[in-house]
């Protein structure tokens, strides 16, 4: 059974960089059928996709966050990571990592496995 485990500091100071890592176990991060993504959920609000990356390292990002986001992958460690720079209180959220299925049929994209989520609070 595939498992994703997100980890990282729970508190980040304003203007600093948020860093999270997702470790994949029970399956290969190098599978050609999937991307690996980050999604966040501010307290009491809906989900927001941040970005995704292929195992070979081709990331794509939410345009609204693109200037501050970097997603990378380390296949040797079965991990992918998120860095979000210049954070503010608006970046306080639960951050989820997830496996993104790219369906064989055009237009089919969905997240089928999710990490448990990591609460990150931006505060001085």
Q: Is 96 in the site for other proteins (CB under 8 A)?
A: yes
- Give the range of 8-16, 22-30, 81-89, 98-106 binding other proteins by CB under 8 A: 98-106
Shortest Cβ 124–other proteins spacing (Å): 26
Question: Distance between CA atoms of 90 and 110, rounded to whole angstroms?
Answer: 26
Please give the radius of gyration of the chain, using alpha carbons only, rounded to the nearest integer: 14
Which residue, 109, 101, 110, 98, is CA-closest to 39? 98
Contact yes or no for 84/60 (Cβ under 8 A): no
Q: Is 105 in the site for other proteins (CB under 8 A)?
A: yes
Q: Is 37 in the site for other proteins (CB under 8 A)?
A: yes
Residues from 57 through 76 that contact other proteins (CB under 8 A)? 60-63
Question: DSSP character for 32?
Answer: T
Binding site for other proteins (CB under 8 A): 37, 39, 45-49, 51-52, 60-63, 96, 100-101, 103, 105, 107-112, 114-117
């Amino acid at each position: 059974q595939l498992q994703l485990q997100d980890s990282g500091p729970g508190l980040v100071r304003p203007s600093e960089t948020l860093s999270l890592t997702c470790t994949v176990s029970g399956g290969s991060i190098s599978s050609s059928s999937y991307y690996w993504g980050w999604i966040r959920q501010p307290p009491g609000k809906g989900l927001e996709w941040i970005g995704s990356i292929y195992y070979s390292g081709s990331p794509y990002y939410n345009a609204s966050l693109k200037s501050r986001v970097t997603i990378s992958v380390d296949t040797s460690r079965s991990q992918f990571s998120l860095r979000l720079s210049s954070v503010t209180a608006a970046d306080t959220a639960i951050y989820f990592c997830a496996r993104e299925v790219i369906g064989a049929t055009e237009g089919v994209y969905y997240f089928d496995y999710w990490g448990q989520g990591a609460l990150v609070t931006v505060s001085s």
